[in-house]
Amino acid sequence: MTKQLIGTLVSAVILFIWQFLSWSALQVHKSEFTYTPNQDSIMQSLSKYLTEEGTYMLPGVPPGSGYEQEQALMESQAGKPWATVSYHKSMSTAMGMNMLRGFAIDIVAAFFLVWLLLKFADLNLKTALMSAVAVGFIGYLTIPYMNSIWFEGDSIGYLIDAVVPWSVVGVWLGWWLPRK
């Protein structure tokens, strides 16, 4: 139990530190956010026309529309501009709860990987490393990469996030878990 607990906590710390570095110091995700000098005008317009917080697909059909309306919209909009907009009425700069929730998720993800690795009869460094990278790739391929296909976004930062920290976690667990 101590082996699983230490493996989980150290792995979660590795993931958490990488996420901090990835999103701040290393700016791995910088290409996902483009600046426009027109931001003030755009925000004024969004604030005027969007009354509820949410993520909007523009253009879109009203709720309850049928397949025919969706198809007609798609045909009429082919070749025209489109956007996805995440709108919030107020920016919060408080990071404490977000960081706590992020670390909690890192603990859960690390726990699942450690649990899985401990089921292997003959765990070694190579198996732990490849398994950890596979977990990172599964997460990347099924969410960020799939979204980048449908919404034509950049997912390179998430690919880096799938490989680098999970490789480090795999090496750590490959060294730690097989120890007697």
Q: Which two tokens stand for residue 95?
A: 């990071």
Distance CA 177, CA 169 (A): 11
79: left (phi > 0), else alpha (psi -120 to 50), else beta? left
- Closest to 84 in 3D by CA, of 116, 114, 59: 59
**What is residue 32's predicted lDDT score, i.e. its pLDDT?**
87
Start-to-end CA distance of the chain, whole Å, equals: 13
Annotated domain spans of the chain: 2-33+94-176
122-179 per-position pLDDT tens digit = 999 999 999 999 999 999 999 999 999 999 999 999 999 999 999 999 999 999 999 8
Confidence tier at 84 by pLDDT (50, 70, 90): very high
**What is residue 88's predicted lDDT score, i.e. its pLDDT?**
95
**What is residue 156's predicted lDDT score, i.e. its pLDDT?**
95
In this predicted structure, the answer to whether residue 112 has a pLDDT above a threshold of 80 is: yes
Distance CA 16, CA 7 (A): 14
Q: Please, what is the average pLDDT of the chain?
A: 95
Rounded average pLDDT over 23-27: 93
Distance CA 138, CA 132 (A): 10
Burial of 132 from C-beta contacts in 10 A (0-12 / 13-18 / 19+): buried
Q: Which two tokens stand for residue 13?
A: 């710390």
Distance CA 126, CA 124 (A): 6
**What is residue 1's predicted lDDT score, i.e. its pLDDT?**
85
**What is residue 33's predicted lDDT score, i.e. its pLDDT?**
87
Confidence tier at 31 by pLDDT (50, 70, 90): confident
